[in-house]
Amino acid sequence: MPTLPFRQLPVLAIALALGTGTRSQTVQPDSIASKMQWFSDAKLGIFIHWGIYAVDGIDESWSFHNRKVSWPAYMRQLKGFGAERYDPDAWADLVRESGARYAVLTTKHHDGVALWDTKQRHYDVVDSTPARRDLVAPFFKALRERGIRTGAYYSLIDWSHPDYPGFLKDSSRYRIADDTARWRRFQKFNHAQLQEVSERFRPDLWWFDGDWEHSASQWEAPLIRSRILASNPQAIINGRLMGYGDYATPEQNFPVSRPPERWWELCMTTNDNWGWQPTDTHWKTPYEVITIFADAVSNGGNLLLDIGPRADGTIPPEQVNLLRELGAWNRKHGDAVFGTTPGLPAGHFYGPSTLSKDSSNLYLFLPGRVSGQVVVKGLLNKVRSIRVLGAGDSLSHKIVGKISWSPVPGLVYIDVPGTVQDRYMTVLRLQLDGPLRLYRGKGGLN
């Protein structure tokens, strides 16, 4: 049965395949579990913020919205965006080298400048900049040739569109209640651009942003979701569609406790800004990124790590190095990362951990250099072997405090010599005698 075109799908049965829940996840988890499996296994994605804001190296969209620069001054960057050295194959190679399983490109930020040839008589890099070409299609093609999933960042906000209400932080063009016809014109435009992205690029993942300015009904969020899924039923939608997404997206700061959603993704910059800014040299180190990544995976989440290319399409060397170092670590320790499940509950081990899907292999992540021993508490299983990932060394262990008459297991102490440790984060694989079994009692005879 052919699906209806994006623009023709009627507003009917909006709640089909939708459940109830929080802003970040409204579909019932069991109904989308199969399509979410690749995302759950992927663990790592690369976020790419690229747009005209890289010409002057200023805040993407927010710089004019917050009155750091005027809107005309911001839009003059259109004349300097040439993408002269843009090499989508090199970008895709770098994504693959990092170990990432998906990449998300900003097809349109809040400034309204599309990175593809939109037919909606609005700003785009083909008609409005010296780049003069679609920048999305070749990158998606290069990713797919390498077996990497594609993600499209799309801003629901369009502060440059004359029919969009919002503009500057302290002023708006109009109130929707006062001019519903004008708002309908913007909705028609917005749906048309969404249709273009959906039909031309068929992203595996939609990364919406900007939903906070209006309600789900004003955005027509249920209709947006149903149209996307009518075109591509396997598409995944992030949690920034006012309650009609599939997974949560905490930003920048790692959650102190695991988010309640079944699927989640931490999006984080490699310095302090999303797009390229020459004055921002506050780069995260490979150690910092790797330890944050391990923490996310240990808690059942993904990391979406951002880079910001220059206006000519080149990627800053600091970001290239960071992705390569992350990739080298992933190649060495990938068994403990990709396709795993969350590790031990708090209190059993002081550090991140993961499990193989059958839970018969327990992976312990040791940040920095460990001196002496590490300990695992409450492990009812027998440990068949302990090996250092990427090195192959076998390690010894001993059980401390096991009393014959008590069901309480002893403490597993593991000797970790400095000679086998990774310079960023060592990972140990504990092969157990079967699926993980943990003691959760209070001690003694309990």
What is 6-336's CATH superfamily? Answer: Glycosidases (3.20.20.80)
Of the candidates 323, 324, 336, the residue with the CA atom closest to the CA atom of residue 294: 336
Q: Does domain 341-432 have CATH number 3.50.50.60?
A: no
- Alpha-carbon distance of 109 to 314, in angstroms, equals 19
pLDDT in tens, 227-245: 999 999 999 999 999 999 9
Res 441: pLDDT = 85
- Alpha-carbon distance of 151 to 244, in angstroms, equals 17
Of the candidates 424, 443, 161, the residue with the CA atom closest to the CA atom of residue 287: 424
pLDDT at 131 over 60: yes
Res 9: pLDDT = 37
- Alpha-carbon distance of 437 to 244, in angstroms, equals 37
Res 121: pLDDT = 86
Res 154: pLDDT = 98
State residue 158 phi and psi, 5-degree precision.
-140, 85
Q: Any idea where the domains of the chain sit in the sequence?
A: 6-336, 341-432
Res 260: pLDDT = 87
User: Which residue's entry shows tokens 């990124």?
Assistant: 289
* Share of residues in the chain with pLDDT > 70 (%): 93
pLDDT at 14 over 70: no
Sequential DSSP letters for 62-78: HHHHTTSS-HHHHHGGG
* Share of residues in the chain with pLDDT > 90 (%): 86
Of the candidates 340, 388, 339, 391, the residue with the CA atom closest to the CA atom of residue 366: 388
* Those residues with Cβ within 8 angstroms of residue 406's Cβ, 6 or more apart along the chain or in another chain: 443, 444, 445
Q: How far is CA 270 from CA 149, 252, 273, 291, 296, in A?
A: 21, 10, 8, 13, 16
State residue 19 phi and psi, 5-degree precision.
-115, -150
Res 271: pLDDT = 98
Comparing 261-265, 370-374, 384-388, 433-437, the range with the smallest average pLDDT is 370-374
Res 444: pLDDT = 66
Q: Which of 102-135 are b and which e, b meaning 16 or more Cβ less than 10 Å from the residue's Cβ? A: bbbbbbbbbbbbbbbbbeeebbbbeebbebeebb
Work out the angle at residue 174's Cα, subtended by the Cα atoms of residues 168 and 175, and round it to the nearest 5 degrees.
Answer: 115
| Dihedral sign for Cα atoms in the order 135, 141, 146, 150 | positive
pLDDT at 186 over 70: yes
Strand pairing report for 166-168 and 171-172: antiparallel
pLDDT in tens, 102-129: 999 999 999 999 999 999 989 999 999 9
User: In this structure, which amino acid lies at residue 414?
Assistant: I
pLDDT in tens, 317-373: 999 999 999 999 999 999 999 999 999 999 999 999 999 999 999 999 998 888 889
pLDDT in tens, 145-175: 999 999 999 999 999 999 999 999 999 999 9
pLDDT at 12 over 60: no
- Two tokens at 210? 């900007």
pLDDT in tens, 272-325: 999 999 999 999 999 999 999 999 999 999 999 999 999 999 999 999 999 999
